[in-house]
Homo-oligomer: A and B are copies of this chain.
């Protein structure tokens, strides 16, 4: 009898403790079943870009009630800011945060999913990604690399850059030494600009000492902390990155192995973190522009002259046509994006643009 009471007690305890787990597990935070690692291009504590990643990881942890955790490694840890695609592809990291146009050396067609010179503004581009076929085209490109790619946060329209001298016409571009990376650099090269790339940490000194005459970075949201307003008097409006969208990447095999509800949680968290970074960037640009105008009233905000803009457009079109002729997939994406932009721009013109025109020019 004693033995059987003991047995019953053990059984009762076993059942009871499991019941407790069954009842309270969804509320109590358990040790994560899924531990992922994310590698990002940015350094530790990089504002806005890094914050979007943290926000995404926090959402995943909270919404999964601790079932899934994502550890974030900055470039200070993994030392390979431009190795993110390779590391995620290899499964060394399950996730990455970077920008699609950084991979154009490996796959030219990755270019289209960040921003294009004279391309779409952010609301047009989000409409294209989610309702105009953009996500499907991005999937076609990235399936070849074994990763899923998603929008990763928008900086808003980027400024054309900081210049030591006013640009009055095309002649002022000839021989100008400027730091401007990527496709926009190729465009300016065609107009005689001597394009260089210089690491972020050396930009201020390079501009201050005259190693370069001009540089582009992001916009007021991130430029203010770099201090360029102290050493260059001309701040030009943008043409080359009208809606820079960063990128989340996920290793396909790792994602496919997740249970359905965690797949959904990860996708929703990435999508919201991206939109949220756009709102954050808009706010921070507005706040910092206000600071610049109050604390640095000598900064002159300029738009490039019409002939300079026209020449940039021509050079840009020529480059895009050259690449289109070489690669049918490039042509397919370029044509689709151009057609969508044309349609969406007509709406932009009679909605926000017409409205702003009434309100700004009276």
Contacts and interface: CB of A to CB of B under 8 A. Distances in A.
Interface of A: 3-4, 7-8, 10-11, 14-15, 18-19, 21-22, 25-27, 33, 59, 62-65, 67, 118, 121-124, 126-132, 156-157, 159, 219-220, 237-239, 242, 259-261, 264-265, 268-269, 271-272, 275-276, 278-280, 282-287, 289-290, 293, 301, 303-304, 306, 309-310, 343-360, 362
Given A118-B359, A268-B268, A283 B132 contact: yes
Contact of A237 (B62, B122, B242, B355): B355
A123 B281 CA distance: 10
A274 B121 CA distance: 19
Question: Ordered nearest first, which 5 A-B pairs have the shortest CB separation?
Answer: A11-B11, A131-B283, A157-B351, A65-B261, A18-B18
A241 to B, nearest CB: 10
B26 A15 contact: no
Contact of A272 (B118, B268, B289): B268
Contact of A358 (B127, B239, B276): B239
A24 to B, nearest CB: 10
A309 B283 CA distance: 28
B346 A286 contact: yes
Contacts of A362: 306, 309-310
A17 B97 CA distance: 42
Contacts of A14: 11, 14-15
A22 B26 contact: no
A63 to B, nearest CB: 5
Given A276-B130, A362-B306, A351 B64 contact: no
A288 B33 CA distance: 47
A230 to B, nearest CB: 20
Nearest to A344: B286
20 contacts: A3-B4, A14-B15, A27-B260, A65-B261, A124-B286, A126-B278, A126-B279, A129-B279, A130-B280, A131-B279, A131-B282, A131-B283, A132-B283, A157-B351, A237-B351, A268-B269, A289-B343, A289-B350, A310-B362, A345-B359
Contacts of A259: 26-27, 65
Contacts of A285: 347, 351
Most buried by B among A4, A219, A264, A355: A355
Contacts of A264: 59, 62-63
Given A62-B261, A127-B283, A11 B15 contact: yes
Nearest to A269: B268
A206 to B, nearest CB: 25
Nearest to A221: B347
A304 B359 CA distance: 12
Given A8-B7, A237-B354, A282 B121 contact: no
